[in-house]
Amino acid sequence: MKFFNHIPSGPLEQKWDRHCFELPLVNPANKRKHHIIVVGTGLAGASASASLAELGYQVKTFCIQDSPRRAHSIAAQGGINAAKNYPGDGDSIRRLFYDTIKGGDFRSREANVYRLAQISNQIIDQCVAQGVPFAREYGGLLANRSFGGAQVSRTFYARGQTGQQLLLGAYGALMRQVDKGGVRLFPRHEMMDLAVVEGQVAGVVTRNLLTGEIKSHFAQAVILATGGYGNIFYLSTNAMHSNASAAWRCYKKGAFFANPCFTQIHPTCIPRSGDHQSKLTLLSESLRNDGRIWVPKKSGDKRVPENIPEGERDYYLERIYPSFGNLTPRDLASRQAKFQVDAGKGVGPTGEAVYLDFKEALERRGKNFLSEKYGNLFQIYEKITGENPYEKPMRIYPAVHYTMGGLWVDYNLESTVKGLFVLGEANFSDHGANRLGASALMQGLADGYFIIPRTIARHLVERSSLEEKKVKKALEESVKEVQKRLDKVLQIKGGKTAGAIHRELGYLLWEYVGMLRNEKGLIQVITAIQGLKDQFWKELFIPGEQHYKNAELEKALRVADFLELAELMAQDSLERKESCGSHFREEYQSQEQEALRDDEHFCHVSVWEHTEGKKALLHKEPLEFKEVSLSVRSYK
Amino acid sequence: MLLKLKIWRQKRGQKKGSFENYEMDHLSPDMSFLEMLDQLNEDLVGQKKVPVAFDHDCREGICGSCSLVINGNPHGPHAGSAVCQLHLRSFKDKEEIWIEPFRAKAFPVLQDLIVDRSAFDRIIQSGAYVSVNTGQAPEAHSILVEKAKAEEAFSHAACIGCGACVAVCKNASASLFVAAKVSHLALLPQGKVEKKARVLKMVKQMEKEGFGACTNTGACSRACPKEISLHSIARMNREYFKSIF
Amino acid sequence: MRKWFFLSIGQKYLIGLTGLGLALFVLLHMLGNLLIFAGDKAYNLYMHQMVHGKAAFFIQVGLLAAFLLHIILALFLSVKNYFSRSEKYARQASGWKATAWYQKSLIFQGAIILVFVVLHLITFKFGTYYEVVYEGKTIRNLFQLVVEEFQKPVTVLWYLIALLVLCVHLFHGLISSFQSLGLSHPRFDFWIKKLSFGYAVFVTMGYVSLPLYVFFFMTEKGG
């Protein structure tokens, strides 16, 4: 094996503390001699930039948006988990750890997840001190709610805008350091390449998205916090500019990619209304607490919902999972919706939706109750669809929402390239095959505020000093490579837009590497993706040139990387011959359409290594479970 | 449906721009306004023309990237929503639609409909935070916050920093933006310690950026996608006054 | 502290304060005017007291200072505000997001009021000096001048227009002052708005009653 996860020895509870003690310290006077680059200003990137600058490091922070505050963490609605046990309902660090491991279907590392649960409490302290306006009880204490089917109330929230409030807190901390001179900010800059010398980072190459200027930046360490690759599906709940390019460039420079096939599909999104659709909007799954999901019993039934009598409706979740009903976990609810649509029972103009009906709740508890609890969600729905959910049942459909896979990192969050650290959704570390609700914010902030400021020290102390000449040459070469790539895409003078190719790619992935996967489809789709890739490099057309804001050029470069990543995703799905979490292989299911996990052969992280000109190489990092016993999830 | 668009085009690096006419046909009323612009751009690319540059990202009204003025209204005609939440069903068939960028001296136009809002970042940088380093925080429950205060603070903290308040204000004043942040932090015990210095620094930076003064017309609050109340400005004025003592 | 007034919020503060002061003056002045209904003697004696009383000088200086400060700061901010948007919009906001006409034109209302005040002073303060004797004391007979002036239809019309402008200016100005001084609050908003409206209308009605009364019900000889 070419890589080590560096998980410290000792009992689970003491690993992180012991590790913190064993990590070297950087002399305060030496800290400002260290240049660190942070790419991305979401929860992980902003918190890492601020925390590192507070310690005295010289930080350069890049983001593609016009302001660091606009990173897509801003859109997270639900909340953030922590094991504070404020409600006294039996929560603990260990329970949060266990729930996360189990929710991830036993495909994540015990040590990482335990650390995440430990740190969760500090995050809340930090955010409260920053002035994040969390919801409060009448006594002035913090309020909690249960989320995503958890049996304890451990989710802290700020109405439906928790991600926004947490990000604005981290953004404030970041701007404070910008003011103090610890951070230099580069908004509207995209990372184009990673410069590596002798297996160690030397810096990054960026493109100014306004002027097109390509520039290299030296650094002793690079922190990647660029989010997930959900946009590979074209339609997802990600922001329009969320992309995988920075991570993919690092992959091509030697960072390994882990579990690319683990992508989460969220069951309650507003369905697309036609081919013009550019992105999808998520509605909090809390709606399922009071809404009942159904489809017509007859396939092809095109009557309006009011005209379908009670007896001809199929409340399929309540029927299949009588004990959990409409509250079955995300992956199951999503998959069942797809089964219904595939059986021709889908509703709405596109036939790709199921009903989420509040009629019964309305009769039972009244309009006030609903509007108090879900008012803003109903408003969002009405704004987008023009339909009033108090009068007509909502139409929902699953959509790609989060990617558990990402660049492989060790316990220090360091990738296989020395000095390249990966945080937040961009890494693969904590969520296994499925992420629990309200855990993404927790992980991003744990990585950025509390883990990286500590673990980066080892690299900075132990790194071998590189010859200046070699670093310079590597950076210059990277700039040339980037320019070459730009010239190459700009020279293709075909007739297809990057968007059109992206849409086709999205369609393929959704069909074959989406909620249901099978060997035949995956083999087919790999060929299809390769065909699409050829098409891209022959038939693309980008208007204009590189020296001003050229959204088409940006899009094309991102799509080019998505096309390569898509192949790896399909490859990974093909190799993982089991069903676990978000990854459902039709060959591996029980009689009742339940996932069949294969712990004997697949209790590992699939780690992919890029090889020039050849197929990616698969390594396996075995997962050991000492503290929990592998059980089968059952929600019947 | 058919729409007649008049879109502001301005090349990068040039001080002047002009309106150009585009006609879009066979549009679905369910399309979002930005999807219509996507469609227009795709058509333009098909004709080997340079597409219209505009800022957008989350498309669910929270990132604050969009910066369009539609028929004179920032974010379009509806209250409490950003332009990405606007759909074509809000327009009439064959309607003429003027699309301009946010305009203010402090928000120079960079290209077509894209403006430079870094002035907002510099205002935040000047002091819109609680000075607490990572790891210094006390136990969260040691700070009690009255429920109503927390909710009021939240309603100010909901600002998405889009700049519609500046765009709609006849004076291009950034008062609502600054006041929202001042109010959010002044209402919470965590922000009280630094509140005097904060309001002075932020207001000073706001003036330096070239924003106009507030004349209390309230247009900002009506254009705000998060409907931030005008009372935040009264609170800012109060805090500003108190900062003398 | 010095810096404090160089920032627009400090300046707005002063505009609000002077505005409230001027609003108070306008009310008192109007109440004094109503003495016209009590006949020439009451009116003339009151006006004499106003101009020759012990505090008169200080009040006049204070008034002039407040007036000038109000105008100069407002002008200064208006110029600054005008230039804070170099390129104007091709279309104006409409509907819910529009700015009301009376809010947009505050500075022009001010200009009309300024012209009015100057003309008003020329007409009355520095106008024809009639005399009248009450109990052996010779004082100015302002009553006669007022009656004379408001026999002219043009003057009455001009006063009506100017006073209407003052009404609008007062209405928005009062609400605005409370806001600038940081005194508005969700709990009082409703009342501030009602009060400002009532105040503006009351003051204007009071003023308007005078020229109308004189024009329609009095002759130059009085009564």
Which residues on B lie below 8 Å from C179 (Cβ)? 216, 230, 233-234, 237
Whether residues B237 and C182 touch (CB distance < 8 A) is answered with: yes
Contact B36, B56 (CB under 8 A): no
Take residue C172 and report the two structure tokens written for it: 């928005």
Stretch A550-565: mean pLDDT, rounded?
A: 97
Residues 176-195 of A with CB under 8 A from B: 176, 178-179, 185, 187
Phi/psi of residue B4, nearest 5 degrees: -105, 110
If you write DSSP's letter for every residue of A358-369 in order, what string do you get? Answer: -HHHHHHHHHHH
Contact C166, C174 (CB under 8 A): no
**Does residue C46 form part of some domain?**
yes
The shortest C-alpha distance from A542 to chain B (Å) reads 7
A501 CB-contact burial (10 Å; exposed 0-12 / middle 13-18 / buried 19+) = buried
Relative to beta strand B18-24, strand B114-115 is: unpaired
What's the CA dihedral at A312, A313, A314, A315 to 10 degrees? -150
**What is the tally of structural domains in chain C?**
1
Q: Which helix (H) or strand (E) holds A218?
A: strand A214-218
Neighbour subunits, B (≥3 Cβ pairs < 8 A) = A, C
Stretch A360-388: mean pLDDT, rounded?
A: 90
Residues A192-232 pLDDT 10s: 999 999 999 999 999 999 999 999 999 999 999 999 999 99
**Does residue C93 form part of some domain?**
no
What is the predicted pLDDT for the residue at A284? Answer: 85
Most C-contacting residue of B112, B216, B222, B224 (CB-CB within 10 A), to test interface = B216
The closest alpha carbon to A170, from B58, B130, B141, B186, belongs to B130
The CA distance from C33 to C42, in Å, is 10
Q: How many CA atoms lie within 13 A of A155 on its CB side?
A: 25
Q: What Å distances lie between residue A623 and A106, A555, A630, A631, C99, CA to CA?
A: 8, 37, 11, 15, 64
The CA distance from A117 to B195, in Å, is 34
Which residues on B lie below 8 Å from C171 (Cβ)? none
Take residue A569 and report the two structure tokens written for it: 């995703």
Contact A219, A35 (CB under 8 A): yes
Report the range out of A367-376, B174-183, C120-129 with the highest average pLDDT: B174-183
Q: Radius of gyration of chain A from Cα atoms? A: 24
Catalytic residue at A364? no
The CA distance from A315 to A298, in Å, is 13
Q: Which helix (H) or strand (E) holds A44?
A: helix A43-55
Contact B203, B181 (CB under 8 A): no
Whether residues A278 and B62 touch (CB distance < 8 A) is answered with: no
**pLDDT score of A540 more than 80:** yes
The shortest C-alpha distance from C112 to chain B (Å) reads 19
Residues A9-41 pLDDT 10s: 999 999 999 999 999 999 999 999 999 999 999
Whether residues B71 and C94 touch (CB distance < 8 A) is answered with: yes
List the domain range (segments joined by +) for residue C196. Answer: 10-81+101-217
Which residues on B lie below 8 Å from A281 (Cβ)? 59-60
The CA distance from A444 to A430, in Å, is 10
Collapse the DSSP code of A623 into the 3-class scheme (helix H, G, I; strand E, B; otherwise coil) and give the result.
coil
Fold entry, domain A479-622: Methane Monooxygenase Hydroxylase; Chain G, domain 1 (1.20.58)
**pLDDT score of A330 more than 50:** yes
**pLDDT score of A456 more than 80:** yes
- Buried b vs exposed e over A413-436: b needs ≥16 C-beta within 10 Å? bbbbbbbbbbbbbbbbbbbbbbbb
Take residue A31 and report the two structure tokens written for it: 């800290």
Residuewise pLDDT in 10s, chain B (245 residues): 999 999 999 999 899 999 999 999 999 999 999 999 999 999 999 999 999 999 999 999 999 999 999 999 999 999 999 999 999 999 999 999 999 999 999 999 999 999 999 999 999 999 999 999 999 999 999 999 999 999 999 999 999 999 999 999 999 999 999 999 999 999 999 999 999 999 999 999 999 999 999 999 999 999 999 999 999 999 999 999 999 87
Residue of B nearest to C4 (CA): B244
Take residue B186 and report the two structure tokens written for it: 């002044």
Please report which confidence band the pLDDT of residue C2 belongs to, taking 50, 70 and 90 as the band edges. Answer: low
Q: What Å distances lie between residue A288 and A153, A294, A317, A347, B74, CA to CA?
A: 17, 12, 11, 18, 35
Contact A258, A428 (CB under 8 A): yes
Alpha-helical runs (H) found in A394-467: 440-445, 452-462
The CA distance from B106 to A155, in Å, is 40
Whether residues B172 and C81 touch (CB distance < 8 A) is answered with: yes
This prediction's pTM:
0.96
Take residue A549 and report the two structure tokens written for it: 């804001």
The CA distance from A428 to A410, in Å, is 10
Architecture of domain B3-111: Roll (3.10)
Stretch C119-134: mean pLDDT, rounded?
A: 93
Alpha-helical runs (H) found in A104-253: 110-130, 162-180, 245-252
Q: What is the ipTM of this complex?
A: 0.98
The CA distance from A455 to A448, in Å, is 11
Residues A91-118 pLDDT 10s: 999 999 999 999 999 999 999 999 999 9
A-B contacts (CB, under 8 Å): 225
Contact B34, B66 (CB under 8 A): yes
- Would the CA dihedral through A98, A99, A103, A108 be positive or negative? negative
Q: What Å distances lie between residue B52 and A12, A32, A102, A275, A550, CA to CA?
A: 55, 43, 48, 21, 9
**Does residue C135 form part of some domain?**
yes
Contact C139, C44 (CB under 8 A): yes
Domain limits, chain B? 3-111, 118-242
Report which DSSP code applies to C24. H
Whether residues B207 and C7 touch (CB distance < 8 A) is answered with: yes
If one compares A149 and A500, the residue with the highest pLDDT of the two is A500
**pLDDT score of A1 more than 60:** no
Take residue B137 and report the two structure tokens written for it: 């925080």
CATH number at residue C106: 1.20.1300.10
Q: At what angle do helices C8-33 and B195-208 cross, to 10 degrees?
A: 90
Residue of C nearest to B212 (CA): C81
C3 CB-contact burial (10 Å; exposed 0-12 / middle 13-18 / buried 19+) = exposed
What is the predicted pLDDT for the residue at C222? Answer: 47
The CA distance from A357 to A393, in Å, is 4
The CA distance from B63 to B57, in Å, is 7
- Buried b vs exposed e over A275-294: b needs ≥16 C-beta within 10 Å? ebbbbbbbbbbbbbebbbbb
What is the predicted pLDDT for the residue at C1? Answer: 54
Take residue A23 and report the two structure tokens written for it: 């990590």
Q: What Å distances lie between residue A597 and A506, A572, A583, C77, CA to CA?
A: 27, 16, 10, 71
Whether residues B110 and A549 touch (CB distance < 8 A) is answered with: yes
Contact C167, C203 (CB under 8 A): yes
Question: In this complex, which of C77, C84, C90 lies closest to B172 when CB atoms are compared?
Answer: C84
Relative to beta strand C137-140, strand C131-134 is: antiparallel
Whether residues C85 and B69 touch (CB distance < 8 A) is answered with: no
Contact A536, A501 (CB under 8 A): yes
Neighbour subunits, A (≥3 Cβ pairs < 8 A) = B
Residue written as tokens 């410069």?
A: A195
Whether residues B244 and C1 touch (CB distance < 8 A) is answered with: yes
The CA distance from A297 to A314, in Å, is 5
Instruction: Give CA A527 to chain center in angstroms.
Output: 26
Collapse the DSSP code of A283 into the 3-class scheme (helix H, G, I; strand E, B; otherwise coil) and give the result.
coil
Which residues on B lie below 8 Å from A279 (Cβ)? 59-60
What is the predicted pLDDT for the residue at A633? Answer: 73
What is the predicted pLDDT for the residue at C201? Answer: 97
Contact C4, C10 (CB under 8 A): yes
Length of chain B in residues, anyone? 245
The closest alpha carbon to A44, from A228, A308, A201, A215, belongs to A228
Q: What Å distances lie between residue B38 and A78, A528, B47, B76, CA to CA?
A: 30, 26, 14, 17
Contact A117, B177 (CB under 8 A): no
What is the predicted pLDDT for the residue at A465? Answer: 84
Most C-contacting residue of B68, B81, B171, B201 (CB-CB within 10 A), to test interface = B171
- When the pLDDT of each residue in chain A is averaged and rounded to a whole number, the result is 95
Phi/psi of residue A583, nearest 5 degrees: -95, 110
Domain limits, chain A? 265-400, 479-622
Architecture of domain B118-242: Orthogonal Bundle (1.10)
What is the predicted pLDDT for the residue at C223? Answer: 43
Residue of A nearest to B130 (CA): A130
Residues C56-93 pLDDT 10s: 899 999 999 999 999 999 999 999 999 999 999 999 99
Residue A251: how many other CB atoms lie within 10 Å: 28
Residues C21-39 pLDDT 10s: 999 999 999 999 999 999 9
Contact A469, A181 (CB under 8 A): no
Architecture of domain A265-400: Alpha-Beta Complex (3.90)
What is the predicted pLDDT for the residue at C221? Answer: 55
Q: Which of A115, A249, A330, A576 is catalytic?
A: A330
Whether residues B150 and A131 touch (CB distance < 8 A) is answered with: no
